[in-house]
Structure 1
């Protein structure tokens, strides 16, 4: 008999760069964070990385909401306190864990991130795993930039990536206006 779908809860949070979508589980873990402008992408990642789920409206735990709110208000260390978990492959999870070792205010290239996980030739695979991160901002995929210091793709949009890195005080080559 098939296992019943896991129930996850969808909440919304106003941020300085648009409305965020928070998906949490019954145990109080953040399972996804994305933007309303990228809601279809979030649903796709949730389907790919989890067993069957049922998504219902519901308020995220206060610890998650306040962690994100205080981060956007300037407490840059607040993200580290948010409990999260994901599905994904072992390789993807290793990339996402490595993303969490990038200090606030710093950036790394895809090549350096590949080296950090012991797969120096896997830059493209690291880029794909980075792009499949369901817990954006909290798992800071926005801190990965091009080897020349330029901004590269971001699932939430380049304007948000630039804002997040500026908010964190990181150095990078700015996007031309």
Structure 2
């Protein structure tokens, strides 16, 4: 007797069959080098984070407040439309972020793809990566460190557009008066990260 539909042919209920189909699609796309951007979500103390990676490395970390669908659409425009939920490619990044939130990691080693930054923003991002765990710098200090002491506001904008928050620590940049300033994940998220690192 022939199965009436694909789900019957695969056996099990619809959700199990879809999961198996998706797993096969993920494996086949990876093997055929058709998967340009893999993504997954990760539950953290700051809510759900979207993680996206190219074959080069982690290309995007996004808070739920940024709109995960909007972030994926932007990645489709700026990187490639060949995007698929493929958690396996992001296992290493997810593990490092979980270790960070558990207090067992103070530095990220996951490979990064920084194609979403260039020019001045890239200079800022490169410097942010040098700000150590538990340390803070002012926007003015970052501007001076990259040789653009008058570009304090532009540093703030570059921090706000950091494609890899948490991993590239823009949360460690505060105002000159010590107040924490703005943050892509919200002020509460920034305060949580700073408090966690100070403990």
Q: TM-score interval w.r.t. the shorter chain? A: 0.7 to 0.9
Name the structure 2 match of 1:138. 167
Question: TM-score by structure 1 length?
Answer: 0.83
Q: Which has the higher strand share?
A: 1
Q: What secondary structure sits across from 2:124 in the alignment? A: helix
4+ aligned runs moved over 3 Å, structure 1: 40-48, 50-54
- 58, 76, 81: which one aligns with 1:30: 58
**1:68 to 1:152, Cα distance in 2 relative to 1, 3 A:** same
- Number of residue pairs matched by the alignment: 163
Structure 2: 5+ residue stretches without partners: 1-33
Structure 1: 5+ residue stretches without partners: 171-177
Separation (CA, whole Å) in 1 of partners of 2:82 and 2:71 = 14
Please say which structure displays the higher CA radius of gyration.
2
- 129, 148, 163: which one aligns with 2:158: 129
- 59, 74, 77: which one aligns with 2:103: 74
Is 1:91 the counterpart of 2:137? The answer is: no
Separation (CA, whole Å) in 1 of partners of 2:120 and 2:35 = 23
Separation (CA, whole Å) in 1 of partners of 2:122 and 2:51 = 19
> Contact 1:96–1:139 at 8 Å: present in 2 too?
yes
Is 1:61 the counterpart of 2:129? The answer is: no
Question: TM-score by structure 2 length?
Answer: 0.74
Shift of 1:51: 4.0
Q: Which has the higher helix share?
A: 2
